[in-house]
Structure 1
Protein backbone atom coordinates (compact mmCIF):
# COMPACT_ATOMS: atom_id res chain seq x y z
CA UNK A 1 0.00 0.00 0.00
CA UNK A 2 1.72 3.18 -1.13
CA UNK A 3 0.91 6.31 0.82
CA UNK A 4 2.65 9.65 0.67
CA UNK A 5 2.68 12.05 3.57
CA UNK A 6 1.85 15.69 2.96
CA UNK A 7 5.55 16.57 2.86
CA UNK A 8 5.98 14.07 -0.03
CA UNK A 9 8.85 12.49 1.89
CA UNK A 10 7.77 8.83 1.97
CA UNK A 11 7.76 6.43 -0.94
CA UNK A 12 5.66 3.74 0.75
CA UNK A 13 4.14 2.91 4.11
CA UNK A 14 4.62 0.04 5.34
CA UNK A 15 5.22 -3.24 3.61
CA UNK A 16 7.64 -6.10 3.74
CA UNK A 17 8.90 -9.24 2.11
CA UNK A 18 10.04 -12.60 3.34
CA UNK A 19 13.63 -13.54 2.51
CA UNK A 20 15.51 -16.83 2.65
CA UNK A 21 18.89 -15.36 3.65
CA UNK A 22 18.41 -12.37 5.94
CA UNK A 23 22.10 -11.43 6.14
CA UNK A 24 22.66 -11.36 2.37
CA UNK A 25 19.33 -9.64 1.79
CA UNK A 26 20.03 -7.01 4.45
CA UNK A 27 23.38 -6.13 2.85
CA UNK A 28 21.62 -5.69 -0.49
CA UNK A 29 18.76 -3.57 0.88
CA UNK A 30 21.10 -1.55 3.12
CA UNK A 31 22.90 -0.48 -0.04
CA UNK A 32 20.08 0.13 -2.52
CA UNK A 33 17.60 1.70 -0.10
CA UNK A 34 20.24 4.17 1.09
CA UNK A 35 20.04 5.76 -2.37
CA UNK A 36 16.43 6.67 -1.52
CA UNK A 37 17.30 7.91 1.96
CA UNK A 38 16.02 4.80 3.76
CA UNK A 39 18.23 3.17 6.39
CA UNK A 40 17.93 0.20 8.78
CA UNK A 41 16.18 1.49 11.90
CA UNK A 42 15.14 -1.75 13.59
CA UNK A 43 16.84 -5.14 13.64
CA UNK A 44 14.95 -8.01 15.27
CA UNK A 45 15.98 -11.47 16.41
CA UNK A 46 13.97 -14.66 15.95
CA UNK A 47 12.48 -14.07 19.42
CA UNK A 48 11.51 -10.48 18.43
CA UNK A 49 14.17 -8.93 20.65
CA UNK A 50 16.61 -6.25 19.51
CA UNK A 51 19.43 -7.66 17.37
CA UNK A 52 22.96 -6.56 18.24
CA UNK A 53 23.60 -5.49 14.65
CA UNK A 54 23.59 -6.64 11.05
CA UNK A 55 25.93 -9.56 11.81
CA UNK A 56 23.87 -10.91 14.73
CA UNK A 57 23.48 -14.68 14.10
CA UNK A 58 19.89 -14.47 15.39
CA UNK A 59 18.96 -11.64 12.99
CA UNK A 60 15.50 -12.32 11.62
CA UNK A 61 14.06 -8.97 10.51
CA UNK A 62 15.16 -5.49 9.44
CA UNK A 63 12.92 -2.42 9.25
CA UNK A 64 14.01 0.42 6.96
CA UNK A 65 12.91 4.03 7.02
CA UNK A 66 13.87 7.57 7.99
CA UNK A 67 12.05 8.22 11.26
CA UNK A 68 10.17 4.91 11.57
CA UNK A 69 10.26 1.61 9.64
CA UNK A 70 8.22 1.60 6.45
CA UNK A 71 9.81 -1.35 4.60
CA UNK A 72 10.64 -4.69 6.23
CA UNK A 73 12.53 -7.82 5.29
CA UNK A 74 12.20 -10.89 7.49
CA UNK A 75 12.46 -14.66 7.73
CA UNK A 76 8.99 -15.04 9.23
CA UNK A 77 6.98 -14.70 6.00
CA UNK A 78 7.14 -16.99 2.96
CA UNK A 79 9.91 -15.97 0.58
CA UNK A 80 8.74 -17.99 -2.40
CA UNK A 81 5.52 -16.09 -3.13
CA UNK A 82 5.34 -13.58 -5.95
CA UNK A 83 5.26 -9.99 -4.77
CA UNK A 84 5.24 -6.54 -6.30
CA UNK A 85 6.67 -3.54 -4.49
CA UNK A 86 7.19 -0.15 -6.09
CA UNK A 87 9.49 2.55 -4.74
CA UNK A 88 8.69 6.09 -5.77
CA UNK A 89 11.68 8.09 -6.95
CA UNK A 90 11.75 11.87 -6.86
CA UNK A 91 14.24 12.21 -9.73
CA UNK A 92 16.00 10.31 -12.50
CA UNK A 93 19.24 10.71 -10.52
CA UNK A 94 17.65 8.85 -7.60
CA UNK A 95 16.55 6.02 -9.93
CA UNK A 96 20.07 5.70 -11.33
CA UNK A 97 21.58 5.72 -7.81
CA UNK A 98 19.23 2.88 -6.83
Structure 2
Protein backbone atom coordinates (compact mmCIF):
# COMPACT_ATOMS: atom_id res chain seq x y z
CA UNK A 1 0.00 0.00 0.00
CA UNK A 2 2.49 2.72 1.09
CA UNK A 3 5.89 2.36 -0.53
CA UNK A 4 7.56 5.19 1.37
CA UNK A 5 6.80 8.38 3.24
CA UNK A 6 8.67 11.36 4.63
CA UNK A 7 8.60 14.33 6.94
CA UNK A 8 10.04 17.83 7.05
CA UNK A 9 12.46 18.56 9.88
CA UNK A 10 13.74 21.96 11.04
CA UNK A 11 17.30 20.79 11.78
CA UNK A 12 18.37 17.81 9.69
CA UNK A 13 21.43 16.93 11.77
CA UNK A 14 19.45 17.00 15.03
CA UNK A 15 16.68 14.89 13.50
CA UNK A 16 19.21 12.48 12.00
CA UNK A 17 20.85 11.94 15.41
CA UNK A 18 17.41 11.29 16.93
CA UNK A 19 16.26 8.84 14.23
CA UNK A 20 19.64 7.09 14.10
CA UNK A 21 19.18 6.27 17.80
CA UNK A 22 15.43 5.62 17.80
CA UNK A 23 15.32 3.33 14.77
CA UNK A 24 18.48 1.31 15.52
CA UNK A 25 16.68 -1.06 17.95
CA UNK A 26 14.24 -1.87 15.11
CA UNK A 27 17.08 -2.71 12.73
CA UNK A 28 16.56 0.35 10.52
CA UNK A 29 19.25 2.86 9.61
CA UNK A 30 20.01 5.72 7.25
CA UNK A 31 20.51 3.93 3.93
CA UNK A 32 20.72 6.88 1.55
CA UNK A 33 21.52 10.58 1.37
CA UNK A 34 20.36 12.30 -1.80
CA UNK A 35 23.21 14.37 -3.25
CA UNK A 36 22.48 18.02 -2.51
CA UNK A 37 23.03 18.98 -6.14
CA UNK A 38 19.78 17.06 -6.82
CA UNK A 39 17.82 18.73 -4.02
CA UNK A 40 18.66 22.39 -4.47
CA UNK A 41 20.96 22.24 -1.46
CA UNK A 42 18.44 20.70 0.92
CA UNK A 43 19.54 17.80 3.12
CA UNK A 44 17.45 14.71 2.31
CA UNK A 45 18.03 11.22 3.72
CA UNK A 46 16.13 7.96 3.75
CA UNK A 47 15.87 5.30 6.48
CA UNK A 48 15.03 1.67 5.97
CA UNK A 49 16.42 -1.83 5.87
CA UNK A 50 17.50 -2.52 2.31
CA UNK A 51 16.01 0.59 0.69
CA UNK A 52 14.79 3.99 1.92
CA UNK A 53 11.21 3.91 3.20
CA UNK A 54 11.10 6.80 5.69
CA UNK A 55 12.54 10.08 4.48
CA UNK A 56 13.67 13.22 6.29
CA UNK A 57 14.08 16.49 4.46
CA UNK A 58 15.21 19.74 5.99
CA UNK A 59 12.66 22.55 5.78
CA UNK A 60 12.20 25.82 7.65
CA UNK A 61 8.60 24.83 8.45
CA UNK A 62 8.35 21.23 9.62
CA UNK A 63 4.90 19.79 10.07
CA UNK A 64 4.03 19.04 13.67
CA UNK A 65 1.47 16.51 14.78
CA UNK A 66 2.12 13.78 12.25
CA UNK A 67 2.05 10.16 13.36
CA UNK A 68 4.32 7.38 12.10
CA UNK A 69 4.34 3.84 13.47
CA UNK A 70 7.33 1.56 12.91
CA UNK A 71 7.02 -2.22 13.06
CA UNK A 72 8.81 -4.12 15.80
CA UNK A 73 9.10 -7.90 15.75
CA UNK A 74 9.33 -8.22 19.53
CA UNK A 75 8.07 -6.27 22.51
CA UNK A 76 11.64 -5.90 23.73
CA UNK A 77 12.35 -3.94 20.52
CA UNK A 78 9.50 -1.56 21.41
CA UNK A 79 11.04 -1.07 24.85
CA UNK A 80 14.50 -0.48 23.34
CA UNK A 81 13.07 1.97 20.78
CA UNK A 82 11.41 3.98 23.56
CA UNK A 83 14.55 4.09 25.72
CA UNK A 84 16.77 5.06 22.76
CA UNK A 85 14.35 7.72 21.53
CA UNK A 86 14.02 9.24 25.01
CA UNK A 87 17.80 9.23 25.49
CA UNK A 88 18.18 10.98 22.11
CA UNK A 89 15.96 13.89 23.13
CA UNK A 90 12.46 12.57 22.49
CA UNK A 91 9.53 13.46 24.72
CA UNK A 92 7.26 10.84 26.21
CA UNK A 93 3.89 10.45 24.54
CA UNK A 94 3.01 6.98 25.87
CA UNK A 95 5.30 4.54 27.66
CA UNK A 96 5.67 0.98 26.31
CA UNK A 97 2.70 -1.21 27.07
CA UNK A 98 -0.33 -3.08 25.85
CA UNK A 99 -3.07 -1.08 24.16
CA UNK A 100 -5.92 -3.65 24.22
CA UNK A 101 -8.39 -1.04 22.97
CA UNK A 102 -6.68 -1.48 19.56
CA UNK A 103 -6.44 -5.28 19.82
CA UNK A 104 -5.35 -7.74 22.55
CA UNK A 105 -1.69 -8.03 21.40
CA UNK A 106 -1.08 -4.37 20.48
CA UNK A 107 2.13 -3.42 22.33
CA UNK A 108 3.36 0.06 21.52
CA UNK A 109 5.34 3.06 22.71
CA UNK A 110 4.94 6.68 21.60
CA UNK A 111 7.56 9.44 21.55
CA UNK A 112 7.48 13.00 20.20
CA UNK A 113 10.51 13.67 18.00
CA UNK A 114 12.39 17.01 18.13
CA UNK A 115 9.85 18.54 15.70
CA UNK A 116 6.77 17.30 17.56
CA UNK A 117 5.95 14.35 15.32
CA UNK A 118 4.37 11.43 17.18
CA UNK A 119 6.49 8.36 16.41
CA UNK A 120 5.65 4.89 17.60
CA UNK A 121 7.11 1.42 17.63
CA UNK A 122 4.48 -1.32 17.69
CA UNK A 123 4.58 -5.09 18.02
CA UNK A 124 1.48 -7.13 17.16
CA UNK A 125 2.92 -10.49 18.21
CA UNK A 126 1.79 -12.30 21.30
CA UNK A 127 4.73 -12.48 23.73
The answer, yes or no, to whether TM exceeds 0.5 is yes
2:34 corresponds, among 34, 44, 49, to: 44
Residue 61 and residue 29 in structure 1: after superposition, are their counterparts in 2 closer, same or farther (change >3 A)? Answer: same
Superposition pairs for residues 1-98 of structure 1, below 5 Å?
13-48=3-38, 60-76=43-59, 78-98=61-81
Residue 63 of structure 2 aligns to a residue in which SS? coil
The alpha-carbon deviation at position 75 of structure 1 amounts to 1.5
Q: Which has the higher strand share?
A: 2
- Give every structure 1 segment of 4 or more consecutive aligned residues whose post-TM-superposition deviation is greater than 2 Å: 44-49
Larger Rg computed on CA atoms: 2
The structure, 1 or 2, with the larger RCO (C-alpha pairs under 8 Å, 6+ apart) is 1
Task: List runs of 5+ in structure 2 lacking aligned partners.
Answer: 82-127
Q: Which has the higher helix share?
A: 2
Aligned length in residues: 80
Residue 6 of structure 2 aligns to a residue in which SS? strand
Distance 1:35 1:65 in 2: 12
Residue 15 and residue 97 in structure 1: after superposition, are their counterparts in 2 closer, same or farther (change >3 A)? Answer: same
Distance 1:40 1:88 in 2: 16
Residue 77 and residue 64 in structure 1: after superposition, are their counterparts in 2 closer, same or farther (change >3 A)? Answer: farther
Residue 84 and residue 61 in structure 1: after superposition, are their counterparts in 2 closer, same or farther (change >3 A)? Answer: same
**RMSD between superposed Cα atoms in Å:** 2.3
Distance 1:75 1:94 in 2: 28
